Chain A
Amino acid sequence: MNKIQLIIQREFLTRVKKKTFIIMTIIGPLLMGSIFILPILLANSGDKAVKIEVVDETGVYGKKFPYDSLLQFTVTNRTIDEAKRKFKEEDYFGILLIQQHASTNLPVLTILHGQSQPSMKVMMTVQNTVAGKLEELAGCDPKMLADIKGKLDIKTESIGGEKTNAGVTTGVGYISGIIIYFFIFLYGVQVMTGVIEEKTNRIIEVIISSVKPFQLMMGKIIGISLVGLLQFLLWIILTFGIYFGVSTITSRQKMDRISSESVMKQRMKALQQANGAVVEEDNGSQMAEDITAAIENLPVKLIIGCFLFYFLGGYLLYAALFAAIGSAIDSEADKQQFMFPVSLPLVLSMVVSSSIVLNPNGTTAVFFSLFPLTSPICMMMRLPFGGVPAWQIATSMGLLILGFLAATWLAAKIYRVGILMYGKKVNYREIARWLKY
């Protein structure tokens, strides 16, 4: 068997057999889930009431909106311009604007919001309330109702007037960015500890008398990337397994929890005699449909393709750098001073991500999504918003490949010398000298 294959095999198998791998595989989805679910739960159970001003130009739907301790819709007689002007002085979360569509007679719903985007709960309440009124008007034909609801699209805009994308777009960007970030850190650091282990166990010289140091380094990097990919795959399977398992069992309770109780009561009242159950289910599937629709609007193929590319490219680039660090240091204690400059661009990508999301095609976003050390995360933040020119994607990918080659070249030079250095306090000048060896 090819020697590099042997190394990959060993790196892969020894890690996959470890207990920590199995534990991480199980805990991962729970951890990830809680990272994303917790804020939603916290937002929903927030004790501050969300106040929304309703500007109903049709005059039909306004009165139907609920007013309870958590969600307070207030119908005013202002025009939308007045409301916008007064918005800053008053403590409203946002303005719901209801207009009549010129041709279909259906209401056109727009939520103008301040700093934060409306939560799923607000959107659901608005949609359900309007749908409820429509039912009254249209009679209780459930089929027609479903049809109408499908067309009830809620636009969101910030008060400033610029269109924002709803949570899904930002979510996809953030989630893929965060996954790449964690993957690079978790598995890049494993490469580093693997190299340190070989050094401290003093086995390194035994091995490099059989294979080239470069083969050992690449074997380790590839082997560990396979561990990461397997773990990632298992996480996806497990997460979906858990998600679908749990959602089938508890879909009913879950729907109750998600949609506002008052809305449910109101809707139940309105639909009591007729097919309440049917509509209630309809309500659940409607949300799923919304999300699916939102995802379908994204450039899915591009995102998945790019995700895989940046996911692997970013990992390979950083893993090479981490391998170089591992070879240069003698003990865990020296790790910090070299970890810092390598982690810096990664942390920076996360820091600028918020400004990228605000302005996905601005100068900051373009720069950081081209620079190879930050592009894996920053480009993934931009892509879901669309409108990234093809040349930028191509340049970013090309630079990442070049960055990877440069990092591997550099790392190989440092690694070759570093692994044979014992008991020497290493500094940057020393490492720079190794490049010339």
Chain B
Amino acid sequence: MNILNIENITKNYAAHTALDDVSMDIPEKSVFGLLGPNGAGKTSLIRIINQITAPDKGRIIFNGQMLEPKHTEMIGYMPEERGLYKKMEVGEQALYLAQLKGLSRQEATKRLKYWFEKFELQSWWKKKVEELSKGMQQKIQFIVTVIHEPKLLIMDEPFSGFDPINAILIRDEMLELKAKGSTIILSTHRMESVEALCTHIALINKSKKILDGSVKDIRKEFKSDTYEIVYEGLSIGFANALWAGYELHDSKEEDGLMKARVKLLNGNTANDLLGSLLPHVKIHSFVEVIPSMEDIFIMKVSEGETKGNGQTIKQ
């Protein structure tokens, strides 16, 4: 079951194309990473999902229905450009934003009380936002994003501007929401910051989707069958142990130990490699080299460039 089906979305601005025939499915209860460099089109896509702007072509299915204005109450959105009314009281403001998401005043008050207690903000209810520290403002910002318990939570550059302690706090809250059944879309250009969180990702570059799917599948597809081995012994002995079935990528000394990367060839397995090495060197660690999203991204982009167009691979 997908919470969102994005089908052939195209969005043109006067001067450029922000999204070019982008399609992707976002499975329910996933943490979906929307990754790509700045200006790739991530925010444009998110704004279309939030119905802030309309696509020129294509459609979006939300939870099995065509996306409509009423669905905004089931979506929580924390934009990259975020802020609060500085001159307004914290509690009054949170109530206002919660009511705009369709909660009744009583319900909003009840839920806000819970969140304010959780984040230890009770005594700030009557204060103006400008009197709060940046960290507290960030907490409030998060609270008003999730107060209506959205089925779909969209966070654009969620950790930019948050201090590390709040970033962890918010990450944990997001995971808790996910455990309760929400789907989360994380959009960022800093791929390493969300890699560990995501179950699914899509890569966007220059207004085109270049890759999407579950993290597991993508890793499998892009795995290089390369292992990093830290060992004690002579590098010549190590090299001699490897015969035609392996390819030695690099080898260097680090802190008195040797570190080498070896790629498996001809259907050899990790066991075969270990078996060949064991008689010759003392192994300290043996780890599969997993390509980071950034590596994959660079790989895909350069691949696309050599092919001359941004052809996509369907998972």
Residues of A within 8 A of B (CB): 1, 3, 6-7, 10, 14, 197-198, 201-213, 420, 422, 433, 436-437
- What per-residue 1/0 map shows which CB atoms of B48-83 lie under 8 Å from chain A? 001111000000000000000100110101110111
Is B97 a contact of A210 with CB atoms below 8 Å? yes
CA distance A10 to B84 in the complex (A): 14
Could you name 5 residue pairs across A and B whose Cβ atoms are closer than 8 Å? Answer: A6-B99, A201-B84, A201-B85, A201-B86, A206-B97
Which residues does B use to contact A, with CB under 8 Å? 13-14, 47, 50-53, 69, 72-73, 75, 77-79, 81-88, 96-97, 99-101, 105, 141, 144-145
Residues of A within 8 A of B97 (CB): 206-207, 210
Whether B96 contacts A10 by the Cβ 8 Å rule is yes
B83 touches A209 (CB 8 A): no
Chain A residues, Cβ within 8 Å of B50:
209
Selected from A1, A206, A420, A433, the residue in CB contact (under 8 A) with B83 is: A206
How many Å lie between the Cα of A212 and that of B72 in the bound state? 10
Assembled-state Cα–Cα distance A210/B83 (Å) = 15
Q: A1-B99, A3-B100 are in contact. Are A208 and B85 (CB under 8 A)?
A: no
Q: Which residue of B lies closest to A433 (CB)?
A: B14
Least Cβ–Cβ distance between A432 and chain B, in angstroms: 10
Structural contact, A208 and B84, CB atoms closer than 8 A: no
Tell me which residues across on chain B come within 8 A of A436, comparing CB atoms.
14
CB-CB under 8 A for A205 and B14, given A3-B100, A6-B100, A212-B69: no
Contacts of B77 in A (CB 8 A): 205-206, 209
Known: A203-B84, A209-B51. 13 other contacts (CB 8 A): A1-B99, A6-B96, A7-B100, A14-B88, A197-B85, A203-B83, A205-B77, A206-B141, A207-B97, A211-B72, A420-B53, A422-B81, A437-B13
Q: Choose among B50, B87, B96, B105 the residue with the greatest number of A CB atoms under 10 Å from its CB.
A: B96
B161 CB to closest chain A CB, in angstroms? 10
Shortest A213–chain B CB gap in Å is 8
Tell whether, in the assembled complex, residue A201 and residue B83 are in contact, meaning their CB atoms are under 8 Å apart: yes
Give Cα A321–Cα B79 distance, bound, in whole angstroms: 27
> In the complex, are the beta carbons of B99 and A206 less than 8 A apart?
no
Contact, CB under 8 Å: A210 / B14: no
* B52 near A209: Cβ-Cβ < 8 Å: yes
- Once the chains are docked, how many angstroms separate the CA of A220 from the CA of B168? 37
Q: Report Cα–Cα, A436/B144, bound state, in Å.
A: 33
Q: How far is the CA of A209 from the CA of B81 in the complex (A)?
A: 12
A-B CB proximity, top 7 nearest: A202-B83, A205-B79, A210-B100, A209-B77, A201-B83, A209-B50, A433-B14
Inter-chain contact B81/A202, CB cutoff 8 Å: yes
Please indicate the chain B residues that have their CB under 8 angstroms from the CB of A6 in the complex.
96, 99-100
Chain A residues near B72 (CB, 8 Å)?
209-211
B96 adjacent to A205 (CB under 8 Å): no
Decide if A207 touches B100 in the complex (CB within 8 Å).
yes
| A422-B43 Cα distance, complex, nearest whole Å | 14
Q: Is the CB of A209 within 8 A of B84?
A: no
A433 — which chain B residues lie within 8 A by C-beta?
Answer: 14
Complex CA distance for A10 and B88, rounded to whole angstroms: 10
Contact of B144 among A201, A205, A206 (CB under 8 A): A206
Assembled-state Cα–Cα distance A10/B73 (Å): 19
Alpha-carbon separation in the docked complex, A401 to B40 (Å):
43
Q: Do B13 and A205 touch (CB < 8 A)?
A: no
B82 touches A210 (CB 8 A): no
Shortest CB–CB separation between residue B172 and chain A, in angstroms? 22
CB distance from A437 to the nearest CB of B (A): 7
Inter-chain CA distance A10–B72, complex, in Å, is: 20
Q: Determine which of B69, B82, B99 lies in contact with A205 in the assembled complex, contact meaning CB atoms within 8 Å.
A: B82
A436 to B14 CA separation, bound complex (whole angstroms): 8
Q: Which residues of B contact A420 (CB under 8 A)?
A: 47, 52-53
Query: Is the pair A209, B88 in contact by a Cβ cutoff of 8 Å?
Result: no
In the complex, what's the smallest C-beta–C-beta distance from A217 to chain B, in angstroms?
14
Between B73, B75, B84, B100, the greatest number of chain A beta carbons within 10 A of the residue's beta carbon is seen for B100
Nearest Cβ on chain A to B217's Cβ, whole angstroms: 31
Residue of A nearest to B141 (CB): A206
Enumerate chain B residues within 8 angstroms of A208, measured Cβ to Cβ: 52
Q: Whose C-beta in chain B lies nearest to the C-beta of A436?
A: B14
Residues of B within 8 A of A203 (CB): 82-85
